Amino acid sequence: MSEHRIKNIFVNGPIDASFIGDSIAKHRSKTEIGGHSIFLGQVRADIIEGKKVQAIDYTAFEEMANEQMHQIREAVFEKYDLTCMHIYHSLGKIAVGEICLFVFTSSAHRKAAIDACAETVERLKSTLPVWGKEILEDETYQWKVNK
Amino acid sequence: MSEHRIKNIFVNGPIDASFIGDSIAKHRSKTEIGGHSIFLGQVRADIIEGKKVQAIDYTAFEEMANEQMHQIREAVFEKYDLTCMHIYHSLGKIAVGEICLFVFTSSAHRKAAIDACAETVERLKSTLPVWGKEILEDETYQWKVNK
Amino acid sequence: MRAKISLFGQLTDIAGNNIIVVDDVADTDALAQAVNKLYPAMAGIKYIIAIDKKPVHTNTALNEAVNIALLPPFSGG
Amino acid sequence: MRAKISLFGQLTDIAGNNIIVVDDVADTDALAQAVNKLYPAMAGIKYIIAIDKKPVHTNTALNEAVNIALLPPFSGG
């Protein structure tokens, strides 16, 4: 059976670039690692019917999302020879230009880290119960739709 | 023709995690970006004939490597809809656990950023004239061979 | 049975609430019918029903003990 | 012509130097033959010849003006 416990992936507000730097630095002692792959989601200033997005307000069914993420993590660890995986997703209003998703995989060899990161991003985008409300410049909003 | 000039990708010594954090933070103002993909190479404590690697000493044919990297950059920008790409490679003695390669691509949408990053890593590994000398714990060494 | 249902995303806008209650629903098909009748705008949204935090893709019997949620299309990340 | 050749990686160990000079080489095939004769250990290494910082994969004429380098298998990153 798995050694991984269900973790809470959610953080309130944007993910600081310095937090990402610190996360990377923590892996210095894990000298079996040869490659890290990181994906960051950044809130984009899309134009929706002539109005610019100024922020995305994220909500989630947190307990279910954490359970789903746990299953993704187990499946990805089963498939790839990973050393570790860290996932963080923002909740609340995240302004354009801010980071709202941080996916971080590490492995002895680059291929496992890269493929695992890409697959994790796809899986979490399609299966985590998280919703983004795009707040437009005139304070109206629209529910985001993932492509 | 291309707008990109030939850049120097080389830095002396390891790439600090805080430098990576700062590079990410600089993209906050580029609000057309929706996703960043990052690959980091970390020096691994391989065991070679019973002896542990303690560092890799990197040398390069720098001018040629920068020209080759320029060509890779042009080809990858041609193929993927990227906002930006940043590449850094260490020179000199890099201890195990330290970062020696930083590949950073950004795009409006995740797929371009992820695919461009993965392809750039493969291309630079196979075409840049860079050599790693694995320094073992007894101060003997062995020239590294990429897989 | 009477079902207490948690709503998320745009469904909360339609209902004007995070929780709705529907009566006389024995299974998830009946639940969807009752919900779509109560809130016709929801019929146009491809929501998933989750029972005890797991997505349900075939008609499933309900009981008082289960946790029911309606999940509109996800847009995380 | 006399060719001045830059060496890299493990080739510098074999030659004990970063630069070697070989005489009477008109093209890259002749250059490789001369180098491998001078340093038999290099014959076992799949090096690439670069002319003016570009890898050369077919036999290429040399002249005094070109920059010649021998590149053993890469191991960056």
pLDDT digits (tens, 9 = 90+) for D29-45: 999 999 999 999 999 99
Cα nearest neighbour of B15 on chain D: D77
Q: Answer for the pair B19, B99: CB distance below 8 angstroms, yes or no.
A: no
User: Residue A59 phi/psi, 5° resolution?
Assistant: -125, 160
Angstrom distance (rounded) from CA A62 to CA A73: 16
Which percentage of chain D shows pLDDT scores above 70?
100
Q: Write the residue in D69, D73, D77 that is nearest to B124 by C-beta.
A: D77
> Residue B67 pLDDT more than 50?
yes
Q: Write the residue in B41, B59, B67 that is nearest to D53 by C-beta.
A: B67
Mean pLDDT of chain A: 96
Contacts of A20 in chain B (CB under 8 A): 20-21, 24
Cα nearest neighbour of C69 on chain A: A61
Q: How confident is the model at residue A1 (pLDDT cuts 50, 70, 90)?
A: very low
Helix (H) / strand (E) element for D29: namely helix D28-38
Lookup: tokens for B131? 């050599």
B32 to A44: CB separation less than 8 angstroms, yes or no: yes
Q: Answer for the pair A116, A110: CB distance below 8 angstroms, yes or no.
A: no
> Residue D1 pLDDT more than 90?
no
Cα nearest neighbour of A28 on chain B: B97
A36 to B39: CB separation less than 8 angstroms, yes or no: yes
Is D71 touching B (CB cutoff 8 A)? yes
Contacts of B67 in chain D (CB under 8 A): 53
Chains near D (3 or more Cβ pairs under 8 Å): B
ipTM of the complex: 0.95
Label residues A97-120 b or e (16+ Cβ within 10 Å = b): bbbbbbbbbbbbebbbbbbbbbbb
A146 to C74: CB separation less than 8 angstroms, yes or no: yes
Mean pLDDT, range B118-132, rounded to an integer: 97
Q: Residue C3, Cβ neighbours under 10 Å: how many?
A: 21
Chains near B (3 or more Cβ pairs under 8 Å): A, D
Q: How confident is the model at residue B74 (pLDDT cuts 50, 70, 90)?
A: very high
Which percentage of chain B shows pLDDT scores above 70?
97
Which pTM value belongs to this model? 0.96
Sign, CA torsion A120/A28/B16/A21: positive
Q: How confident is the model at residue B3 (pLDDT cuts 50, 70, 90)?
A: low
Angstrom distance (rounded) from CA A124 to CA A104: 13
Mean pLDDT of chain C: 95
pLDDT of residue A3: 64
Which percentage of chain A shows pLDDT scores above 70?
97
The CA distance from C37 to the nearest CA of chain A, in Å, is 23
Which of A 75-94 lie inside 8 A of C, CB atoms?
A: 89
Helix H segments across chain B? 17-25, 62-79, 110-127
